Structure 1
Amino acid sequence: MAWKSKTRSLQVFDTEQSADTVEWCPVSPSHNILACGTYQLQKGAGVEDATPSRTGRLYLFDFRREGSLSPPLTELQRMDTPAILDLKWCHVLVSGKAVLGIAAATGELQLYTMSDSQEGSCSLQTLSSLVVGAERLALSLDWSTGRMDSSDVRVVCSDSAGCVSVLSLAEGTLTALSQWKAHSFEAWISAFSYWDTQLIYSGGDDCKLKGWDLRVGPSCPTFTSKRHSMGVCSIHSNPHREHILATGSYDEQVLLWDGRNMQQPLSECAMGGGVWRLKWHPAHQHLLLAACMHNDFHILHCQQALG
């Protein structure tokens, strides 16, 4: 499912803190805009200051290949924030603007809108925020809009208390719809089924992958899989192929699933490192990007597995 490829660096940018999440803007005409979030654990210096703090920074970049001599990446904006665990753009415009969501170490889900300046640049402004829970970290988020459907914009968020929260975005305001205890330990990841946005998937440090149907309610998952042998930390629904789901884990495996049969995966691939994030290609339905701890990035070609 994987093949070897050679890459070369176009540019190096020092984010100063650990950069743990990077996302291209998916909406036209802003495909050249890139957001990056950082996470840094600041340990207390003494006994009286033993509680560690988590700091972060949000960067906004413009990427343009205008010549071989000029660096393609230009920093447009930076702002200090709480540590950022995850960030994702809404796949559609909201009230005519691109919206970026951030899962923060303060337990907040933060939303920003992107606006054009008079100088022709872009910048982010705060839109809305909501604390999903006290004394916890917001660990992941996903938008319901993966198939470019703007009729019902919702966000799912998971946190370090093992909870999953579903929120709606209407008239620029986040509103909590539901929250439930989904996992025994950290709920590392949550994701929508882009084909049926009443279905939600979650993965946790309890090594379990679960499905939830919002129409039924969160009292009981639709399935619980223990196929991963370690914490499940990445899930992504394929926006091009109905029922297809990719999951990754600290066990260093990427599994492909047909959502109609969660008893056995369609295929598995060893990555040589814990799989922190997975993302299907925005245009090519068989290409899957895996970000692996201690073992770089891999592009998986899944056509044979998916048929």
Structure 2
Amino acid sequence: MDLRQLRYFQAIAETGSISAAAQRLNVAQPALSLHLRNMEEHLGTKLLLRGARGVKLTEAGEMLLARARRLLIDMSRLEDDIRNLGREPQGDVRLGLPGTIGGILSPDLVLAAKAQLPGVRLTISEAMSGFVLDWLREGRVDLAVLYLPATDARFRSELLLQEELVLLVPPGHDISAEIEASALLDLPLILPGPAHGLRQLLEGWARARGIRLAVNIELDSYQNIKELVERGKGVSILPLHAVAREAAAGTLKVVRWHAADCLREVYLVGPLAEASSHACAAVMSLLRELMRKQVQGERWTGTRWLGASVFDSTV
């Protein structure tokens, strides 16, 4: 097999059909089918199952796709690094962000990248943190900001900051400005669903204090959660930065914890130093510095900076 065959196979797997892949690649469909047949004969196994709705990967096909993505990414980085040796960073960098962080970072990051890294084509995709981690593992993004470190040996995770999580109540609520965690026993909660990273963190935090959260309503949308709290349908626990605007306007009330120990960590996750492209390393450095400035300039409300200004490649 060669890299061209791997690119062809990746396109077929990602589009779900040979005809769609042929259009994407601008390659004749019979030629693409021949390449696929030659790969299957070479490997001695079926890679795809053809059906009326397109193609489906076999177990061998899934394995090949995962390895092919990594090989093609590594080759692209190698080519970029050699071409750009001694020059300004150039190439494509794909960044994955949780939606709540994207709202803070994306506009400033896009503008900073255009000004400081004109040769880099930055693409930002947003989803829940768990999905972003899957994208990173599958090679769909090169870098990510996550709420948990990646345990995979292929990646390095750098703890950059902590977010304060606060109790959110309707504006007329008579609760104290600071409470103990045990006060949650008497409060009806509106929280994200069990699969959401914030919900899992809060369940663990409460369990460590002998508390069982009384969740009455489950919603993954922060905006909808805030609206229901404002209507008096319950209370919630969210990052301070996500509710700072409403708290300042008086439409919601923020309550802090006596112990100040309800926190969420934020990590910058990317490839190991030896596997990182010049462009990827430059975006990591820019992203880190932008996050530091936003925290220390109090644009990212309720956070504490834990990282360094200059990245230590041994991390």
TM-score when scaled to structure 1? 0.23
Structure holding more strand per residue: 1
Q: Which has the higher contact order (CA 8 A, sep 6+)?
A: 2
Structure holding more helix per residue: 2
* Larger-Rg structure: 2
TM-score when scaled to structure 2? 0.22
